[in-house]
Amino acid sequence: MTQTITFPFDRRPEPGEAMPVAEGVRWVRMPMPLAGLDHINLWLVEDGDGWTVVDTGVKTDQIQELWENVFTREIGGKPVKRVICTHFHIDHTGMAGWITQRFPGIELWMTFGEWSFARMLWLEALPEVPEHVLEFYRRSGFGAEAIEQIKSSGYANMQKQSWEVPRAFRRMTEGDVIRIGQHDWKIMIGRGHSPEHACLYCPALNVLISGDQVLPRISPHIGLHANEPEGNPLGLYLNSLKQFNSLPSETLVLPAHNDPFVGVGARADQLAHHHAVRLGLLGAAMEDWTPMPDVLPVLFRRQLEGFQRIMASSEALAHLQYMVVDGTAQRRLDADGVYQFRRATTEIPPAEIGHE
Ligand SMILES: [Zn+2]
């Protein structure tokens, strides 16, 4: 029997509202000035005589004002006692530095992988796109004009959209149990979307704060990037997705985008299936040596421009790299220094089909 996915709430919080979704858990929805997505969900968990904030929003004056409204009007004047960020992306960490200043003495809790990556990117703040990034895109099949576009759009400078990532933090690791107010929350680590993404599961409330790891309506971005060109983010993602099948089917999932939902195992299965289908389509399209840009229409039906094209390319590269690592595709560098991919020609013995 396949469980279906349901959305138990018939409304969403207004800007600056903290809407109750479970005992001691509130939903805050912030606007998002990023391409493709117009909102992010953030969470407040009652923490004794105060609150724990989970994820924080991008650094903008509007979001700061909305947070101010939440702090002064929505949560009974009780202070924030701790900030947890699920992962390093600026829509999650951008306001963490400000909240930790707004409530002096409180700590930022993250995994080591996410905190150190956020801190590194914030400090890096390069004025120009570095050569290894341009080279990564050249090898991936971007032509001279596309490379010029990447150059002129500049490096993603984290300082523009994030307060300084706090210099000290509290570490969360796989399996840790964190007490927040009345309840224990277990840390589950997801990978592939970011290095060491923290999800928080509360068995007593049967609530999972899933961050970007499991989203109900969109597939989390899984991209291969210039900082780890031989990585296998899709392999990491699919492996870490399996753990969510062990949660109770009635678990209320609080995702960072879209709406809260029930049916985490079904959604994990759908996401795994979504990627399996795309890997199959890629294999079918690569009978001959093919550069990455030629497979973009196989994966994306819409016209891709600018930043969207870069995101789509990193997603396509993650799928191609997955196939290279598991042996279902081959990769070679052509005379122009561009990677070409081809479906592996080896036949799979019939006895092996159907096994993992
Ligand atoms: Zn993210």
Question: Is residue 248 in a domain?
Answer: yes
Query: Considering only 14-23, 220-229, 347-356, which range has the smallest mean pLDDT?
Result: 347-356
Give the confidence band of 83 by pLDDT, cuts at 50, 70, 90: very high
Question: Is residue 140 in a domain?
Answer: no
Residue 315 has pLDDT above 60, yes or no: yes
| CA 278 to ligand 1 center in whole angstroms | 21
| Cα–Cα separations (whole angstroms), residue 276 to 150, 238, 271 | 30, 10, 9
Higher pLDDT, 58 or 3: 58
| CA 184 to ligand 1 center in whole angstroms | 25
Give 214's DSSP letter: S
| CA 257 to ligand 1 center in whole angstroms | 10
CA distance 312 to 299: 9
Q: Are residues 249 and 345 in the same domain?
A: no
Q: Are residues 293 and 245 in the same domain?
A: no
Q: Are residues 74 and 184 in the same domain?
A: yes
- Global pTM reads 0.94
Q: Are residues 259 and 295 in the same domain?
A: no
Helical residues (DSSP H) of the chain, grouped into ranges: 61-69, 90-93, 96-102, 112-124, 131-139, 144-153, 233-241, 264-285, 292-299, 306-326
Q: Are residues 83 and 204 in the same domain?
A: yes
Token couple for 280: 């199959």
Q: pLDDT value at position 353? A: 46
Q: What is the pLDDT of residues 58-74, one digit of tens each?
A: 999 999 999 999 999 99
Q: What is the pLDDT of residues 206-262, one digit of tens each?
A: 999 999 999 999 999 999 999 999 999 999 999 999 999 999 999 999 999 999 999
Q: Are residues 291 and 268 in the same domain?
A: no
Residue 296 has pLDDT above 50, yes or no: yes
Q: Among the three residues 247, 274, 301, which one is the final residue of a domain in this structure?
A: 274
| CA 347 to ligand 1 center in whole angstroms | 38
CA distance 3 to 262: 10
| CA 345 to ligand 1 center in whole angstroms | 36
End-to-end CA distance of the chain: 22
CA distance 340 to 319: 14
Q: Are residues 213 and 111 in the same domain?
A: yes
Output phi, psi for 270, to 5 deg: -60, -45
| CA 161 to ligand 1 center in whole angstroms | 14
| CA 256 to ligand 1 center in whole angstroms | 8
For 52, the enclosing helix (H) or strand (E) is: strand 50-54
Q: Are residues 254 and 315 in the same domain?
A: no
| CA 89 to ligand 1 center in whole angstroms | 5
Q: Are residues 336 and 202 in the same domain?
A: no
Q: Are residues 106 and 247 in the same domain?
A: yes
Q: Are residues 200 and 259 in the same domain?
A: yes
- What would the mean pLDDT of 269-282 be, rounded to a whole number? 97
Q: pLDDT value at position 2? A: 58
Q: Are residues 198 and 75 in the same domain?
A: yes
* The total number of structural domains that make up the chain: 2
Question: Is residue 311 in a domain?
Answer: yes
| CA 197 to ligand 1 center in whole angstroms | 9
**CATH code, 54:** 3.60.15.10
Q: Residues 260, 9: contact at Cβ < 8 Å?
A: yes
| CA 348 to ligand 1 center in whole angstroms | 36
